[in-house]
């Protein structure tokens, strides 16, 4: 089986083209700027040129894009967005309009001549044609049997904020110990995960596996061969924005917490990890510290090691925890894609 795995992060998109008839280490790998980073640069370029911008496309990761759009408006230039891509900024379009963005119907760029001088930017998280074209330059027989994509998605609910809603859905899913791969969606992304749903719809006909990037990273780290002898451990993805930690025993997640990396100190990490291990960590203590929350099904019997990945993982060096830097396939940048590959293989069986 040939699998195209794409992990879309805040800074990079990490791509792995895997053929199960070859060694993982011999796979084609790409580490490229993430789609949101590319879009931000396009916005800044048009701000410098003094051009108004029209957005079409779909929902994608929007934190940095939102900031660039606000800066563009504050510089005195106009932003027009079709309804679906406008949800990149916020699912509540009233909030988007309050920022000074004009919301229009699909196709207005061609229907209304007043937008003819606007610079048009298409929003999409996975440009499959571009990725296919790039890999085909190095593999003239390039084709894949399955595609899998990871991206972080807070989800949306009118009843609560996205920080609360994201963790509410994690707790709802983790009602019993389960394999990390079970967090992947196979043609059934719920509508409330609007970003992942948009990716699924943009790859219509390709039947993609979709997974939250944090769980993809946790999954990939678990398959580093150097830790195959461990049974009770914690995996931490220490990202630029968020940190997720999962306690693992008997191959299954027993508990999880998620916090904002900027709020974590080495001392706090030690405390939270130990409380995750012994099952005493509470949702309230993490949430009240402006994190997402915590949920434990069972404590684990011991902490053999902390397995770390993510761009901010060096903070673990300042703790007293016994740790190992995961690098499945010999490449720390491929942790997410490897997790996606394992999820595809798990769901296939």
- The angle that helices 63-74 and 35-49 make with each other, rounded to 10 degrees, is 10
Angle (nearest 5°) at CA 20 between 313 and 348? 90
Per residue in 233-279, pLDDT (tens digit) is 999 999 988 999 999 999 999 999 999 999 999 999 999 999 999 99
Confidence of residue 113 (pLDDT cuts 50, 70, 90): very high
Entry pTM: 0.94
Q: Name the CATH topology of 2-32+146-348.
A: Nucleotidyltransferase; domain 5 (3.30.420)
Place of tokens 């879309």: 8
Identical fold, 2-32+146-348 and 35-123: no
Q: Where are the domains of the chain?
A: 2-32+146-348, 35-123
Residue 62 has pLDDT above 80, yes or no: no
Q: Using alpha carbons, select from 36, 1, 5, 6 the residue that is nearest to residue 19.
A: 1
Determine the distance from the C-alpha atom of residue 299 to the mean position of all C-alpha atoms in its chain, rounded to a whole number: 27
Per residue in 69-109, pLDDT (tens digit) is 999 999 999 999 999 999 999 989 999 999 999 999 999 99
Q: What is the pLDDT of residue 134?
A: 93
> Residue 26, Cβ neighbours under 10 Å: how many?
10
Q: Name the CATH topology of 35-123.
A: Rossmann fold (3.40.50)
Q: What is the pLDDT of residue 110?
A: 87
Q: Percentage of residues in the chain with pLDDT exceeding 90?
A: 87
Per residue in 165-195, pLDDT (tens digit) is 999 999 999 999 999 999 999 999 999 999 9
Q: What is the pLDDT of residue 223?
A: 92
- Summary mean pLDDT of the chain: 95
């Amino acid at each position: 089986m040939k699998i195209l795995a794409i992990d879309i992060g805040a800074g990079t998109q990490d791509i792995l083209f895997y053929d199960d008839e070859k060694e993982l280490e011999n796979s084609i790998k790409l580490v490229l700027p993430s789609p949101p980073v590319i879009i931000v640069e396009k916005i800044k370029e048009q701000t410098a040129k003094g051009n108004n911008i029209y957005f079409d496309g779909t929902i994608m990761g929007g934190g940095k894009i939102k900031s660039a759009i606000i800066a563009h408006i504050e510089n005195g230039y106009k932003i027009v967005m079709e309804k679906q891509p406008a949800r990149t900024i916020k699912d509540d379009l009233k909030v988007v309009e309050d920022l000074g963005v004009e919301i229009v119907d699909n196709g207005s760029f061609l229907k209304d001549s007043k937008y003819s001088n606007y610079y048009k930017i298409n929003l999409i998280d996975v440009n499959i044609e571009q990725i296919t074209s790039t890999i085909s330059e190095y593999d003239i027989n390039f084709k894949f049997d399955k595609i899998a994509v990871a991206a972080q998605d807070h989800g949306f609910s009118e009843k609560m904020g996205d920080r609360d809603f994201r963790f509410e859905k994690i707790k709802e899913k983790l009602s019993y110990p389960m394999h990390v791969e079970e967090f992947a969606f196979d043609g059934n992304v719920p509508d409330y995960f609007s970003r992942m749903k948009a990716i699924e719809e943009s790859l219509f006909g390709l039947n993609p596996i979709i997974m939250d990037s944090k769980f993809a990273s946790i999954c990939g780290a678990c398959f580093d061969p150097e830790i195959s002898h461990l049974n009770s451990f914690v995996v931490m993805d220490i990202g630029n924005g968020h940190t997720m930690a999962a306690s693992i025993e008997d191959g299954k997640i027993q508990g999880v917490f998620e916090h904002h990396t900027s709020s974590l100190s080495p001392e706090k990490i030690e405390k939270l990890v130990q409380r995750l291990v012994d099952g005493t960590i509470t949702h309230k203590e993490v949430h009240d510290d402006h994190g997402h929350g915590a949920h434990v099904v069972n404590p684990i019997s011991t902490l053999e090691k902390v397995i770390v990945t993510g761009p901010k993982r060096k903070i673990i060096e300042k703790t007293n925890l016994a740790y190992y830097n995961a690098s499945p396939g010999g490449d720390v940048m491929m942790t997410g894609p490897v997790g996606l590959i394992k999820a595809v293989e798990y769901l296939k069986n």
